[in-house]
Structure 1
Amino acid sequence: MTERVQVNMLEAKSQLSQLAERAWRGDAVVIVKDGKPYLDLLPHVETSWARKLGRLKGKIRMSADFDKTPDDIIDGFEGCL
């Protein structure tokens, strides 16, 4: 079972290695500043796939008038001022 650990900034500074181990094991490590949650210490997770340029080529279609904003939308924004 995972634990939730809260430590202040000074403690985190002096116990970083131990806190990192706990985060790696699955504990929720929260660093607090002025009594409020400030940072979550999380283990690094490798991405499962590499990005590949052009992998969506031919799968995305845009309408010919995609850059034409309807007049009622423009009027709505101009009326907000």
Structure 2
Amino acid sequence: MEAARQYNVHEAKTNFSKILEAVATGEEVIISKAGEPVAKVIPLAGKVRRTDYGSLAGRIRIADDFDDLPDGFAEAFEVDA
């Protein structure tokens, strides 16, 4: 595997868009400060799948020993309790 590109802080600020493009294609980028690596920018493992309201209905179980919600809690979040 090819060595990760390395940028100092100033270069990283100047080339931020270029760094993001490289990472989006699977490359890893190292950011250094005073010559010492301090951060690694890596691609996300996968995209986060967004869910719609109610998409987890029937998939979540509340434990039998779960305490009742305090008075006013559900109303504060506009939730039917």
Q: TM-score, normalised by structure 2?
A: 0.51
Deviations 1:1-30 (A, max 9, x none): 554112110121233343333223322112
In structure 2, the residue corresponding to 1:56 is in which secondary structure? Answer: coil
Once the two structures are TM-superposed, the CA of residue 41 in structure 1 deviates from its matched residue by 5.6
Deviations 1:34-63 (A, max 9, x none): 4232351647x654x431111222332334
- Could you tell me which amino acid in structure 2 is paired with residue 38 of structure 1? A
Q: Which of the two has higher C-alpha Rg?
A: 1
In structure 1, the residue corresponding to 2:24 is in which secondary structure? Answer: helix
Q: How many residues align?
A: 65
Deviations 1:54-74 (A, max 9, x none): 12223323343223xxxxxxx
Name the % identity: 31
Corresponding residue of 1:38: 39
Instruction: Show structure 1 runs of 5+ residues with no match.
Output: 68-81
Structure ranking higher in helix proportion = 1
Q: TM-score, normalised by structure 1?
A: 0.51
Corresponding residue of 1:70: none
Corresponding residue of 2:65: 65
Instruction: Show structure 2 runs of 5+ residues with no match.
Output: 68-81
Q: Find the aligned partners of 2:59 and 2:42 in 1 and give their Cα distance.
A: 38
CA RMSD of aligned residues (A): 2.9
